[in-house]
Amino acid sequence: MRSSQSRFVYESDHDAYDHPLDKRACGQLKREFPDAYVHSHISENRNEVQWVHDLFPEAEYTLTDLADGAGTSFPTAQREVNRAEQAGIVTVRRVGPARLVRANSAHPLLTPLRQLILATYGPPVVVAKQFANIDGAAAVILFGSWAARYAGEAGRAPNDIDVLVLGEADRDAVDDAADRAEREIGLPVQATVRSLDQWRRARESFITEVKRRPLVPVLVGDGHPDLGRELQALPARPEETP
């Protein structure tokens, strides 16, 4: 950061910009110094605003909610919401001076767009990053309500992210990874560890339920190709009831 008379220019590389605390600090500076010049990546902001919105598609958000959740400035959130509204991807209604934004569930591109953005910016990427290189982990899987919503199953917005680690992973390392992912995603991350033997025998009701419901594999070790094929063959879509 360098000063130029009464203005500040914020210059950040990609890694620093990706840090949520860095973006919030930048937004705070902009609010305190409205004439400040802020340099960032607008196309990424658009995806981040959409990511916040897509995590809970049935909810309504104010522009402030979206800006805070994406770690960007209010003007940027407002600009990107205007673009999304023009494209028909979101709907906007006014309650007094506030604009409430929600996903347009009738838009034909909403589902593929949501999956694309979530896969790029959401929990799968965050969990894959934070749980990578844990000794003894054969696979890392998302399951539970978040995986079900991701697969298109109707229901309430998830309150947490459920992660299953398969293998002989160190419990402390798994908990540390869950804490890091939780801070980055902004939702509680609940991590469970089961051995490959427990997974394959499926004698535990927990394992049979996980296998029956939608799941999202995010990491599979190179030494476990059979496990990778098995996970790909398990449900990725909600089961249909007659």
Tokens of 128: 């894959």
* 97-101, 144-148, 174-178, 237-241, range with greatest mean pLDDT: 174-178
Neighbour tally for 37: CB within 10 Å:
12
Nearest-angstrom CA–CA distance, 28 and 71: 10
Does 120 score more than 60 pLDDT?
no
Question: For residues 185 and 13, which has the higher predicted lDDT (pLDDT)?
Answer: 185
* Tokens 């054969």 found at: 138
- How is 212-234 classified by DSSP, letter by letter? HS--EEEEE-TT-HHHHHHHHHS
Taking the C-alpha atoms of residue 150 and residue 217, their distance in angstroms, rounded to an integer, is 12
Closest to 55 measured CA to CA, from 75, 44, 42, 69: 69
Residue 110 has pLDDT above 90, yes or no: no
Q: CA-CA distances (angstroms) from residue 26 to 19, 72, 146?
A: 11, 8, 30
* Alpha-carbon distances, residue 148 vs 26, 37, 238 (angstroms): 35, 42, 7
Is the pLDDT score of 49 beyond 90? no
Tell me: pLDDT of 42 over 70: no
pLDDT of residue 210: 93
Residue 64 confidence (pLDDT) above 80: yes
| Spans of all domains in the chain | 2-103, 122-233
pLDDT at residue 1, rounded to an integer = 31
Q: Where do we find the tokens 């340099």?
A: 39
Residue 60 scores a pLDDT above 60 = yes
Of the spans 34-48, 67-81, 103-117, 124-138, which averages the highest pLDDT?
124-138
Determine the pLDDT at residue 179.
96
Give yes or no on whether 2-103 and 122-233 have one common fold: no
DSSP letters of the chain? Answer: -EEETTEEEE---HHHHHSHHHHHHHHHHHHH-TT-EE---HHHHHHHHHHHHHHSTTS-EEHHHHHHHHT--HHHHHHHHHHHHHTTSEEEEEETTEEEEEE-TT-TTHHHHHHHHHHHHSHHHHHHHHHTT-TTEEEEEEEHHHHHHHTT---PPPSSEEEEEEES--HHHHHHHHHHHHHHHSS-EEEEEE-HHHHHH--SHHHHHHHHS--EEEEE-TT-HHHHHHHHHS--SPPP--
55-75 average pLDDT score = 79
CATH fold group of domain 2-103: Arc Repressor Mutant, subunit A (1.10.10)
Higher pLDDT, 130 or 25: 130
- Predicted pLDDT of residue 56: 53
State both tokens at 50. 């959409």
Query: CATH code for 122-233?
Result: 3.30.460.10
* pTM, to two decimals: 0.55
Q: Which of 6-20, 50-64, 92-106, 216-230 has the lowest mean pLDDT?
A: 6-20
If pLDDT is split at 50, 70 and 90, which confidence band does 166 have?
A: very high
